[in-house]
């Protein structure tokens, strides 16, 4: 059974960079066949796809965030990461990592709340 776990700071100051890591267990990122996604949910709101990465490093980003987002992968650690620069209060959200099979999100991490505040 694949499991995903997000980790990273729960509080980030405005204008700084949000950094999160997703550790995958029960399956290898480098085995291929899946993309690995980041998705966020603003408090009490709906879901927003941020982007995803393949084990080879190829990425797809949401154009609304593309100028500020970097998703990277470390196959040796079976992890992938999210960096979101120049954050504002509007970036306060629960951030989820998820495995992506044929563009559908079939396994999710539990989510981590990131608050942007000074």
Q: Least CB distance from residue 116 to other proteins, whole Å?
A: 21
Give 83 or 94: the residue with its C-beta nearer to other proteins. Answer: 94
Residue 38, both tokens:
């980041």
Beta strands in 1-118 (DSSP E): 3-7, 11-12, 18-25, 35-41, 47-53, 59-61, 69-74, 79-84, 93-101, 104-108, 112-116
Query: Is 55 among the residues that bind other proteins (CB under 8 A)?
Result: no
Query: Is 109 among the residues that bind other proteins (CB under 8 A)?
Result: yes
Interface residue list for other proteins (CB under 8 A): 46-49, 60, 62-64, 96, 98, 102-106, 108-111
């Amino acid at each position: 059974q694949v499991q995903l776990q997000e980790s990273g700071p729960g509080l980030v100051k405005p204008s700084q960079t949000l950094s999160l890591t997703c550790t995958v267990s029960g399956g290898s990122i480098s085995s291929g066949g899946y993309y690995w996604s980041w998705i966020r949910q603003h408090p009490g709101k709906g879901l927003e796809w941020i982007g995803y990465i393949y084990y080879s490093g190829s990425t797809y980003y949401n154009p609304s965030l593309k100028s500020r987002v970097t998703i990277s992968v470390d196959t040796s650690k079976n992890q992938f990461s999210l960096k979101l620069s120049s954050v504002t209060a509007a970036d306060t959200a629960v951030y989820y990592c998820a495995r992506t099979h044929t563009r559908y999100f079939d396994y999710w991490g539990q989510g981590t709340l990131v608050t942007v505040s000074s």
